[in-house]
Structure formats: C-alpha cells, structure tokens
Amino acid sequence: MNGQYASLLIALPLISAFFVPLIKGLGRKVVMAYLVLITALQTAIAGWVANEVYSTGKPIIVMAGGWKPPVGINLYIGHFAALFVLIIAVISFFMAFFSFKAVTVEPVDKYAMLFLLLMLGATGMIVTGDIFNLFVFMEITSITAYALTAYNKTGEAAEASMKYIVLGGIGSSFFLIGVALIYGATGTLNMAHLAQLAGAIDPTVAQVGLALIIFGLAVEAELFPLNAWAPDAYQAAPHPITVMFSALVVKAGLYAIARLLYILQNANGWSGVLKLVIIMATLTVVVAEFSALRQKDVKRMIAYSSISQVGMIAFALALGTQAGVDAGVFHMVNHAIVKALLFLTVGYVGVALGGTAIENFRGLGKRMPLTALTLTIGSLAAVGIPLFNIFWSKVRILLAGVEAGYSWSVALILGASVVEAVYYLRLIHTMWFVEGGERVRENFVIGVIALFLAALIIAIGVYPNDIWTIVQKAGQDVFNVANYIKNVPLMGVGA
C-alpha cells in the first residue's frame, strides 16, 4: 500500500471528532462505543504503519498536498514515530474502555470529542517534520488538555486547569518566540532543512532560540521549574485522562525536546543548552521524588512519581550520546506501560470506592484482589526491581549517564530512587497488610486490560532484548540526524 495513507493517523481522529456532535442524540452508550471503535481503527492504522516502517527499515514521509519539503509540511514517520504512534493508539484504545466506567459526568459527547483531539495532538507532535506544525499540534494537545482537566467542573478541577492554562500560555509564547528567532536566522521551518543550516546560525541566536523552545516544551514535558501544574491536573482530571497525560502528552513533549535538540546539534553553543536540560532534569527527579513522599492522596503520589520518571527520561535524552538516547527511549516505552497500569488501577479504585485517598486502599488485597495485584506489580516495576521492565531501562540510563561524565547527576537520581522505593512500599503495605472494608466486585474488562499491561511489564522484564532491538532503532532515528536529513527529500532550495 502507498505510504501516503499514513496521513490517516492525523485525518481519522480529526474527522471522527467532527462527527461526534452528530451522534450525540443517540445517547451516552453510543458515543462511548463510537470512541472505542475509532480508537480501535486508529490502533489498526498505527499497527500497519509500524509494521511497514519496521519491515522495510525506511521511514514513511508524508508530503502534505504533494509539495516537497521544505516548501510543504512533511510528516516524518520513522522508527521512533511509528513505535510511539502505536503506543498512543493502544493506550487510547484501553482508555476508551475505561471511560465507559470512569466518566459519569455529562456531557459525554464533549468528552469524546476532546479525547479524540488529545490523541490527535499527541500523534501529530510525534509525526510532524515541521517546527511550526509542531507548535500547532502542541497547542491542540494543550488546549484539549486544559479543557479535559476542567471536565469534572469542581472547584479543584477549575483551579488545576487554570494553573495549567497560565503556565501553558507562557510556555507556548516562549516556544513561538524561539521559533521566530530560529526562523529569522535561517528562513526555514522544516526540521530537516534546519538541521542542514544549523551550523551557520549565529551562536547567540541559536542558543537563545533553542533555550526558549526548550522552556516552552518543558511545560508540556513537566520539567522542574515549569511542572507545578502537573500534580494538580493529574489529581483533578478524570481518571482516563490522567493516564493519557502521563502516557502520551508528556511523551510527545519529551520527544519534541529531544528531536529539536538533536536537529540543531551542529549549532554553536549547543552543548550549553544540553547542560541546561540535564540540570533541569536532575532537579525534576529529586524534587518530584521528595514531594511524592509526603502525599496522602495516592493519585497525587503517583503523579509525582510520574514526573520524576519523566525527569529521568529527559536526563537520558539530553546526554548527547547514542547510548543515552536509546536508554531514554526505552524508558519512555516502559514508563508509558507502567504508568498506564498504575493510573488505571488507582483510577479504578477511585471509581469503585469513591476517592483515591490512602484510606481507601486499606485492605485492598482482600477487597479487590485483581486490582491490588496489578497495582502491586506496577508499583514494584516503577521502583525498578529486577525482573520488571523499568529495572533494565533505569540501569541503562544510569550507565549512560556515568559514561557521559555526569556522575553527580547519576548519584542524585540514584538517591532519589531510594525515596521512590519508600513510598511505593508504603502503598503496598497498606494494600496487603492493613485490614479494612468488604469485598467489592471488580469489572471484567478493566481487569483484563490491567492484567494485559501487567503481563507486558513482566514479559519485557524477563525478555528485554526483543524490545531493546526495536528501541535501539527508534533511538537512532532521533540521534542520527545525518540519516534524518538524507531521508527527507528536500527540494533544492536555499542550502
């Protein structure tokens, strides 16, 4: 089949979102079933694209309107994008099922529409090959994220959403200033073309522009000084949306940071920006881990844990070595799976028992055995215990960090991981060794999804090599910019 069909990854959720208002009269069940159907279709397309990219070993370049880049916008679906588009689609598919149970507040049609647009935005951020198009997709993602955070219409939800809007607004303005500076210096917005011209940019402009862009993206990617919105939004948003935030939105932001960093690696003053990201990432890990330690609300605790993992990914992606980027991508995959499982089970407890405060988790092992079991597996994996998937990616990140000469940073991250073990073990202890409550009947579909994710965690933990080869290809896609330029058929302009 023609590779241009891969543009359906963007087109399908967009057109389906427009059809939601037409079917909203048919009732809540129909809208939710529609959501499941569309995400299933998206998964099928993403699966086909991933299969195509990994079997031919060549990226799919979609040219919008048939204009060759850098005149037209191109989508670049390489090994990285193919892998993450698939992860995004699968997680959205699972969350569509979870939404049946978890979203009881009306109006459900707006929820479905925003859900699809959030998936669209995250997919777009990952596949695009144009820096301004990246901004547009980032805004689609963040505006839908603002709206979904406030979806429950409580005071807390509005407050969390407002924090996110103000920070996100500042971030997107900074990003746009950065784009303006880079455009003013090079006259192009296409990433491949930018990579070619990167060496010729004035070092001050390159440094300021790149730093502003990183600051703008760091709001989405939850790096330290700009992540104050995240725990609030995670706590106040509907449970399936929390999963979407930690599994897709953050990943898209992190990827965009990594992509733009390596695109401009020939620019003078580049290594200074790398150091900035390393410092921000290390601070993210330390601050988030210590904040998680004193949380009473389990969802908020896991939100902080998610932020700390994100810091670790950013650290790995900014090391500037192939090993670091590979490890970072590996951790992105693992973190998406583990955090999806954790937020799913915690959210399900919140739906079934009415709240995610730690008191509700007393005796969960007897009350909801399946949920408690999968939550335990997820927690152990998040701590990074051997035989679970995060162990391997954490080890690789730390080794890559030492190799790149950032021992101080590695030491801080390792110290923070000890803290992580403390609060997860406290949660596990509350679930299994504290008495409380009656038995609650568990939902079959959610149990199956949770078991599937748990099985995936253990499968990757026991056989890490299969996924590691996939991840290495994806890492090369981000790191090897010369190859990236070669793959995009640039029209002979400028350069």
From CA 87, how far away is CA 85, in angstroms rounded? Answer: 5
Question: In the bound complex, what is the minimum distance in angstroms from residue 411's beta carbon to another protein?
Answer: 27
Nearer to another protein, 295 or 409 (CB): 295
Q: According to the binding rule CB under 8 A, does residue 161 interact with another protein?
A: yes
Helix (H) or strand (E) holding 76: strand 74-77
Q: Is 155 in the site for another protein (CB under 8 A)?
A: yes
Question: From CA 343, how far away is CA 474, in angstroms rounded?
Answer: 26
127 or 138, CB closer to another protein? 138
- Binding residue for another protein (CB under 8 A) from 176, 357, 399, 440? 176
Q: Is 153 helix (H, G, I), strand (E, B) or coil?
A: coil
Q: Segment 435-464, which members bind another protein (CB under 8 A)? A: none
| DSSP secondary structure letter of residue 247 | I
Q: Which one among 189, 219, 230, 377 touches another protein, defined by CB under 8 A?
A: 189
Quick one: which of 55, 294, 465, 492 contacts another protein (CB under 8 A)?
A: 294
If binding is defined by CB under 8 A, does position 290 make contact with another protein?
no
If the CB atoms of residues 41 and 170 are measured against another protein, the closer one turns out to be 170
Pair 95, 243: CB distance under 8 Å: yes
Q: Which residues ranging from 207 to 246 are in contact with another protein (CB under 8 A)?
A: 231-232, 235-236
* C-alpha Rg value of the chain to the nearest Å: 21
How far apart CA 6 and CA 477 sit, in angstroms, is 18
CB of 193 to another protein, least distance (A): 13
> Binding residue for another protein (CB under 8 A) from 7, 72, 159, 269?
159
Q: Which residue has the tokens 């588009």?
A: 85
**Least Å from the CB of residue 494 to another protein:** 13
Least distance from another protein to the Cβ atom of residue 105, Å = 13
**For residue 449, what are its two tokens?**
């999804």
DSSP 309-364: HHHHHHHHHTS-SHHHHHHHHHHHHHHHHHHHHHHHHHHHHHHHHT--BGGGGTTH
* CB-nearer residue toward another protein: 30 or 357: 357
Shortest distance (Å) from residue 297 CB to another protein:
7
User: By C-alpha distance, which of 469, 49, 78, 396 is closest to 262?
Assistant: 78
Task: Look at the alpha carbons of 322, 200, 171, 488 in this order and tell me if their dihedral is positive or negative.
Answer: negative
> In degrees rounded to 5, what are phi and psi of residue 60?
-95, 125
Angstrom CA distances, 401 to 390, 405, 414, stand at 16, 6, 11
Cβ atoms within 10 Å, residue 407: 12
Query: Cβ(226)–Cβ(190) under 8 Å?
Result: no
Task: Name the residue nearer to another protein (CB basis): 163 or 396.
Answer: 163
Residue from the set 73, 160, 198, 219 that interacts with another protein by CB under 8 A = 160
Q: Which is nearer to another protein, 294 or 441 (CB)?
A: 294
Smaller CB separation from another protein, 79 or 300: 300
Which residue in the set 14, 64, 143, 395 belongs to the binding site for another protein (CB under 8 A)? Answer: 143
Using the rule CB under 8 A, give the single segment among 52-60, 179-187, 192-200, 257-265 that binds another protein.
179-187
For the chain, count helices (H), then strands (E). 21, 2
The nearest distance, CB 329 to another protein, in angstroms, is: 29
Count of residues binding another protein (CB under 8 A)?
42
CB 224 within 8 A of CB 287: yes
Q: Is 272 in the site for another protein (CB under 8 A)?
A: no
Judged by CB under 8 A, the residue of 22, 55, 66, 153 near another protein is 153
Binding span for another protein by CB under 8 A among 104-112, 157-165, 242-250, 483-491:
157-165
The H or E element containing residue 245 is none
Q: Which amino acid, residue 205? A: V
Strand, helix or coil for residue 62: strand
Q: Cβ 307 to another protein, closest distance in Å?
A: 13
Question: Please, which of residues 32-91 interact with another protein by CB under 8 A?
Answer: none
Residue 222 Cβ vs another protein, minimum distance, rounded to whole Å = 16
Which residues sit at the interface with another protein, rule CB under 8 A? 132, 135-136, 139, 143, 146-147, 150, 153-162, 165-166, 168-170, 172-173, 176-177, 179-180, 183-184, 189, 231-232, 235-236, 291, 294-297, 300
